[in-house]
A and B are shown apart, each in its own frame.
Chain A
């Protein structure tokens, strides 16, 4: 990437662009009526943090029940609701909104734009989210309980054997989908249309690139999810039989449609993480990113391949052998571009002048632990081996390695990395290091033994288990509680950083490059009212 410098003649009388509105209005209007990408980004991030703790509490319930064999604390029905809503909240309420919040805050600053392309729609796509989750959470308290069919809501669990809350679940997912689609349209249009002069495609920061591709995936698959939940609704309430063999349908059809959405969705939750790590590693290695162009191509190939691998979630449903082989090979192909990325991150660090501030620690942990999750993914991709692993804790271990130590670690890394830019204060490095080490140790205690109990045959989503899994499960639960408590440290660091701390310089990090580091910390309410010159 080339060097970038801002135009110093920024205030050449262009006040008509934003009506001279340089200060945020006060009070509730600021947050409810806002059209400002930074305010909306903040809202998204705070919402995601809140949902992270609510979903986390549900995980604590799950781990408390699984601390020892037998039924102790909750009824199986409620346990099912906890696993279901935990998954839905973490996927749609924590990880995705956090990434969208980062996109809102960062993309306009990174490409030298005045704001997002469609600022009012931006507000709408945020504010419908809390309502969607309010509906989902309220459904837990209705008669018969909330959804308990798993976040994947397989038919016939969701069509024949589900409660009255299913309709609320369906409509809340519709709203989440609308929100994601609008957010994604906004990101794509902003990147296509609002780049500063000179910000050519191959000069864009990788975070922008990965989000562009993520947004494309979102627009392509969220409508398919909407179609899926609609079919569940009509099957359950209006007598259709899409997923019922007696009417000529097929329950396996549900899984095909769901995973056609679901697998690209997995990459929606990891591609922006790749972008974040690709921003952080060069800064703390004080070297440009190794293989920038190959990163772009690798991201694109991962996105394209993601449409051809969905049935690797369904190896045990009795598909024809040629289909199993096709999906096995396509899945394994994904290891190639992913390997390119991991190689590039390591090569970026190679012989760099490394320092290990908290963002870098989380980024390095991401590289190592995400790779572990990638490897267990390769194991799961092997069809005959998957017959053994399917629906065991091995799968739980796999996707928590990619989603917690992958997606969430990257989000935490991003928070530490850009918090000084957002707030104007440095975060507390000591507390941050404590947070990192507590998280790192506890998260591995939490998820690593799951591989073992899974391989030994412990099924997922069951509130009880055979006695031989007791010791490992106790360890896992202790790891879980410790990980949950460690996140309170994160909350403390964030609150403390918002309230004050050592003033941050504009560049914040010695090795940081990019347009956002040339603005003040915190940046002005409207960043680039005239476009910077990108050389």
Chain B
């Protein structure tokens, strides 16, 4: 229980949340129509609404964060506020962990339970014999019970390099953090930039891997449960890397242009770093369970 309680800053009214709410509405409503229009070849204007939503959301984020940064730099925040932000960020990351947990759960279930059952294990011998006589359980599932064939993505080569790249980026980020705490600004700038570049190269290689999968391996989003889990897990991970990289870039720009953050006051840096390490850990699980095993 805080001694700094007396200075808890309750912000004045703010227009940003309602702007954000309208943005999310446009985004969801537009996306809901856009998805139908794209996949069902229907006429409509969902994409405009979707884009408007995205634009408004970006506008809101810039405005809201600018507000928060101004308040923080203006010294309105206390140690207790800082704790609120840190705890809020930790719980947000926990919610992200649970989001990935759902997809990992689907992967484990499909692999450990559903696939053997489709091949007749447990009490499913006759079902398998009658429904899917040609199916044999094998992971990666390169041939589905329905007969769709695909190829597995090997873990050697590109995925392994990507693992090394992402792990290295976590290390450089840690160096940047230490440099920030020791007041070595030049090292901070360089290490943070290096982290962002490593993240960007990870994304570029990941995009290349996707093209390779589609063009050479016939591994597609609709190639059965192997392709489903592969693309949704790596895809959502890639999305998070993208967000994390944007987050780090904003932090880097704040350091380069405005010389923000001190050894003791750098919540935003800390939050971006936590997020980046979290994304890294998710990748390690991905590498082990999606690629190697």
Residues of A within 8 A of B (CB): 14, 16-19, 21, 25, 29-30, 32-36, 113-115, 117-121, 123-124, 127-128, 131-132, 134-135, 138-139, 164, 167-168, 170-172, 174-175, 178, 181, 184-186, 188-189, 192-199, 219-224, 226-228, 230-231, 233-234, 237-242, 245-250, 252-253, 256-257, 260, 320, 526, 530-531
Contacts and interface: CB of A to CB of B under 8 A. Distances in A.
Contact of B7 (A17, A172, A193): A17
B13 interface: yes
Contacts of B6: 14, 17, 530-531
B225 A242 contact: yes
Nearest to B229: A242
Contact of A171 (B31, B101, B114, B222): B31
Interface in B177-223: 221-222
Given A120-B17, A238-B221, A250-B117, A219 B98 contact: yes
Interface in B121-180: 122, 131-132, 141, 144-146, 148
Contacts of A224: 98-99, 101-102, 105
B144 A241 contact: yes
A425 B9 CA distance: 31
Contact of A120 (B1, B16, B96, B106): B16
A181 B88 contact: no
Interface string B92-127: 101111110111011001100111011000100000
B14 A234 contact: no
Contacts of B250: none
A197 B225 contact: no
Interface of B: 1-2, 5-18, 20-22, 24-25, 27-29, 31-33, 35-36, 39-40, 64, 80, 83-85, 87-88, 91-92, 94-99, 101-103, 105-106, 109-110, 113-115, 117-118, 122, 131-132, 141, 144-146, 148, 221-222, 224-228, 232
B20 A248 contact: no
8 contacts: A35-B13, A131-B21, A186-B88, A193-B84, A196-B1, A221-B98, A224-B98, A231-B232
A277 to B, nearest CB: 27
A16 to B, nearest CB: 7
Given A127-B17, A194-B8, A223-B99, 10 more contacts: A35-B14, A117-B87, A119-B11, A184-B91, A188-B91, A241-B144, A245-B114, A245-B145, A247-B144, A248-B145
A21 B12 contact: yes
A32 B21 CA distance: 10
B76 to A, nearest CB: 9
Majority DSSP secondary structure for residues of B touching A? helix
A124 B228 contact: no
Given A35-B14, A135-B29, A128 B146 contact: no
B12 A248 contact: no
A124 B222 CA distance: 36
A262 to B, nearest CB: 13
Contacts of A249: 110, 114, 225, 228
A248 B24 CA distance: 34
Nearest to B46: A167
A171 B94 contact: no
A246 B132 CA distance: 8
Nearest to B18: A32
